[in-house]
Amino acid sequence: MEPKDWQVRHVRYVFMDVVQFTKGRTSDDQVVVVRALNNIVRRSLLDLNVREEDQILLPTGDGMCVCLYASESSSPDLHLRLAEHILRGVKEFSTANDPLPQHTFKIRVGIDEHNDCIIKDINGNVNVAGVGISRCQRIMDKAGAGNVMLSRKAYESLSEAERASGHFSRWSFKTKHQDVLEAFLYTASDVFGLDTTVPGGLSPVHDAESVPIVLGDELAFSIPTSGFTARDAITQIEIGSDSTIEFAMHTLAPGQAYVFYFHFRTDLNEQGWIGFCTPPKYGRFWTDAERTDVISTNRGPNREMSIWWLIKERWPELKGKPVEVNRLRIRGDDDNRTMVQVRVDFKHVGDRMHQVHSGSNNH
């Protein structure tokens, strides 16, 4: 029997490319950028003591994929630490006095890991093929300039302390084949060169690992149903009934935006989240339609809940104007008069919210 010329290994990936690589750059400029990135990656690997036999470097023209063999002795967060080092190096290079404007650049990074095939490419060089490297590229493609995004598998490989650090926000997106992938945006505040702005084309995901942050009392709101007045209180609405929710925002700074999440739970223990961005002038809701299925539900037999909402009045100013959500409606597929509990949480997403919904992938 002819021996196999390939093997399966557990590989950790750091996939990166230069954002807007060809824009405003001559061929000479592009060579400068590629060489700079190559040097930064090489230096970062040396700083982290990654042996040459434990790495495969796959150039892609305007970037590369760094493939790291995983072992019992290697750190589970090696791919994340490498991304931090590379971002820092790119930022330092681009803010130095020497580079011309067209020689400064930013990268976007995707991180993943998987058991993939180590094979020889058409030129006889070592290459990698499989789910992990393909998925990593798709995740990188959704990132913006300066972003680092991890797959669920890469996120779950991190230590419990790292996952509990609060440095990750959870999102999902659809691929060109309409498959849904999850990605975790890295949001640490102390990483030089890291941009935590949420890129476009992502939808929020909520569970016990991703709890919205409740902001201060200066962001008051009221829901005029069933005597609902206090922040974080719970009101009940009958399925099929309408209600109006009004938000009075008092301290919005120009360019800031917030995402409002609504948590629904029925007395049959069906529950889920929906969310939308305000001010809506910076983009559409998280979905492209006025109807969205509950993101996560515990469904009883033959039951499915859906949620509709409409914005009655667009936000004309950034400050002091209420947003009314009219005809909040929850429906079951039977005639049971199930009661629904509504809880409202706030999460501040940050500045430049228009980038969240721009739909641009920053190529």
- DSSP 8-state assignment for residue 53: G
pLDDT above 90 (res 320): no
CB 203 within 8 A of CB 150: no
- What secondary structure does DSSP assign to 50-85, as a single string? --GGGEEEEE-SSEEEEEEE--TTS-TTHHHHHHHH
- DSSP 8-state assignment for residue 280: G
> What average pLDDT does the segment 156-177 reach?
84
Q: Can you state the angle between helices 27-47 and 78-94, rounded to 10 degrees? A: 140
Distance in angstroms (rounded) separating the CA atoms of residues 28 and 21: 12
Query: What is the model's pTM?
Result: 0.60
Residue 358 to residues 19, 166, 312, Cα–Cα distance (Å): 16, 26, 23
- pLDDT for 83 equals 98
CB 194 within 8 A of CB 167: no
CB 320 within 8 A of CB 242: no
Residue 190: CB partners within 8 Å, gap ≥ 6?
A: none
Please tell me whether residue 103 adopts helix, strand or coil conformation: helix
Domains in the chain, CATH or no CATH each: 7-204 (3.30.70.1230), 221-352 (no CATH)
> What average pLDDT does the segment 236-259 reach?
46
Backbone angles phi, psi at 151, to 5 degrees: -70, 165
Burial 16-38 (b: 16+ CB within 10 A, else e): bbbbebeeebeeebbebbbebbe
Q: Over the stretch 104-135, which tens digit does the pLDDT of each residue have?
A: 999 999 999 999 999 999 999 999 999 999 99
Q: Over the stretch 179-223, which tens digit does the pLDDT of each residue have?
A: 788 999 999 989 999 999 988 888 877 554 443 333 344 444 433
Query: Among 318, 291, 293, 314, which residue's Cα sits nearest to residue 303?
Result: 293
- pLDDT for 271 equals 53
pLDDT above 60 (res 342): no
Residue matched to tokens 């991180």: 111
Residue 112 to residues 18, 88, 136, Cα–Cα distance (Å): 18, 20, 5
CB 362 within 8 A of CB 198: no
> What average pLDDT does the segment 285-305 reach?
35
Residue 3 to residues 6, 20, 121, 128, 265, Cα–Cα distance (Å): 9, 44, 17, 19, 58
Angle at 197 between CA 29 and CA 328, to 5 degrees: 145
Strands 107-120 and 148-151: parallel
- Among 128-137, 201-210, 241-250, 280-289, the least confident range: 280-289
Distance in angstroms (rounded) separating the CA atoms of residues 260 and 355: 17
Helix (H) / strand (E) containing 322: strand 322-331
Distance in angstroms (rounded) separating the CA atoms of residues 195 and 356: 13
- pLDDT for 266 equals 53
